[in-house]
Structure 1
Amino acid sequence: MGKKINVGFVGAGYWGQKLLPKFLSAPDAAVRVVCDIHSGNRAAVQQKFPQISTAESCEAVLTDRELDGVVIATPPASHFSLAKKALDAGKHVWVEKPLALRLEEGRDLVQLARAKKTVLFVDHTFLYDPAVTMIRDMIRQGELGDIYHLYLQRLNLGRIKRDSNVWWNSAPHDASIVLYLLASRPKSVNLHGYRYLQPNLEDLNLAVIEMCDGTSAFIYHNWLYPENTAKLTVIGSKRLLVYEGKFEKRSVTVYDYEVEDSMDGGRLMDGLPTTIPSKMIAERELQGFQDQEPLAAAVKDFLESIRDSRAPLSHGEFSLQVLAVLEAGDRSVRSNGEKIPVEF
Structure 2
Amino acid sequence: MADELRIAVIGLGHWGPNHVRVFNQCRGSRVVVGADPDERRRNWVLAQSSDLEVVSEAEHALERPDVDAVVIATPTRTHHALAKAALEAGKHVLLEKPMCSTVEEAEELVNLARTTDRALVHGHVFVYNCGIEFVREHAVRGEFGAIQYVYATRTNLGPIRYDVDVVQDLATHELAIFDYLFGELPTWVAANGSRVLGTAREDVAFVALEYGSGILAHVHVSWLDPQKTRRLTLVGDRRMVVWNDVDPSEPVRLYDKGVKEEPYYDSFGEFKFALRDADVLIPKIELREPLRRQAEAFVKRVVEGTPTRSEAESGLRVMRCLDAIETSLVSDGRRCPVPR
Q: TM-score with structure 2 length normalisation?
A: 0.94
CA deviation after TM superposition for structure 1 residue 85, in Å: 0.8
In the TM superposition, what are the counterparts of 1:17-56 in structure 2 within 5 Å? 17-56=17-56
Aligned partners of 1:299, 1:80: CA distance in 2, in Å? 21
Contact kept in structure 1, 2:187 and 2:211, CA below 8 Å: yes
Report whether the alignment pairs 1:92 with 2:89.
no
- Aligned-pair Cα RMSD in Å: 2.1
In the TM superposition, what are the counterparts of 1:201-216 in structure 2 within 5 Å? 201-216=201-216
Amino acid paired to 2:181: L
CA deviation after TM superposition for structure 1 residue 19, in Å: 1.9
Report whether the alignment pairs 1:304 with 2:322.
no
CA deviation after TM superposition for structure 1 residue 256, in Å: 1.6
SS in 2 for 1:136: helix
Give the direction of change, closer, same or farther, for the CA distance of 1:309–1:96 in structure 2 (3 Å limit): same
Unaligned runs of 5+ in 2: none
Question: What's 2:10 paired with?
Answer: 10
SS in 1 for 2:322: helix
Unaligned runs of 5+ in 1: none
Residue 286 (structure 1) aligned to one of 279, 283, 286: 283
CA deviation after TM superposition for structure 1 residue 262, in Å: 4.5
CA deviation after TM superposition for structure 1 residue 185, in Å: 3.1
- What is the aligned-residue identity percentage? 30
SS in 1 for 2:54: strand
In the TM superposition, what are the counterparts of 1:39-188 in structure 2 within 5 Å? 39-188=39-188
Report whether the alignment pairs 1:316 with 2:312.
yes
CA deviation after TM superposition for structure 1 residue 47, in Å: 2.1
Contact kept in structure 2, 1:262 and 1:269, CA below 8 Å: no
Question: What's 1:295 paired with?
Answer: 291
CA deviation after TM superposition for structure 1 residue 313, in Å: 2.5
Contact kept in structure 2, 1:119 and 1:311, CA below 8 Å: no
SS in 1 for 2:308: coil
Contact kept in structure 1, 2:261 and 2:272, CA below 8 Å: no
Give the direction of change, closer, same or farther, for the CA distance of 1:246–1:340 in structure 2 (3 Å limit): same
Aligned partners of 1:189, 1:258: CA distance in 2, in Å? 27
Aligned partners of 2:103, 2:163: CA distance in 1, in Å? 19
Contact kept in structure 1, 2:67 and 2:91, CA below 8 Å: yes
SS in 1 for 2:61: helix
SS in 2 for 1:14: coil
Amino acid paired to 2:211: M
CA deviation after TM superposition for structure 1 residue 111, in Å: 0.7
Residue 327 (structure 1) aligned to one of 296, 311, 323: 323
Give the direction of change, closer, same or farther, for the CA distance of 1:94–1:254 in structure 2 (3 Å limit): same
**Structure 1 residues 182-235: Cα deviation after superposition (integer angstroms, max 9, x where no partner):** 144310110111101132111100000110121111000011112212111001
SS in 2 for 1:155: strand
Amino acid paired to 1:149: Y
Residue 333 (structure 2) aligned to one of 317, 323, 337: 337
Aligned partners of 1:78, 1:247: CA distance in 2, in Å? 35
Amino acid paired to 2:210: E
CA deviation after TM superposition for structure 1 residue 36, in Å: 0.5
Aligned partners of 2:170, 2:63: CA distance in 1, in Å? 31
CA deviation after TM superposition for structure 1 residue 253, in Å: 0.2
Aligned partners of 2:59, 2:263: CA distance in 1, in Å? 67
Give the direction of change, closer, same or farther, for the CA distance of 1:247–1:261 in structure 2 (3 Å limit): closer
CA deviation after TM superposition for structure 1 residue 272, in Å: 9.7
SS in 2 for 1:94: strand
Contact kept in structure 1, 2:180 and 2:309, CA below 8 Å: no
**Structure 1 residues 291-336: Cα deviation after superposition (integer angstroms, max 9, x where no partner):** x222111101111111113432311011111111111111111212
Residue 270 (structure 1) aligned to one of 267, 272, 276: 267
Contact kept in structure 1, 2:165 and 2:202, CA below 8 Å: yes
Contact kept in structure 1, 2:9 and 2:19, CA below 8 Å: no
Name whichever of 233-242 and 25-34 sits farther off.
25-34
Structure 1 segments (4+ residues) deviating >6 Å: 271-275
Give the direction of change, closer, same or farther, for the CA distance of 1:249–1:172 in structure 2 (3 Å limit): farther
Amino acid paired to 1:185: L
Give the direction of change, closer, same or farther, for the CA distance of 1:336–1:52 in structure 2 (3 Å limit): same
Contact kept in structure 2, 1:263 and 1:269, CA below 8 Å: no
Aligned partners of 2:284, 2:142: CA distance in 1, in Å? 19
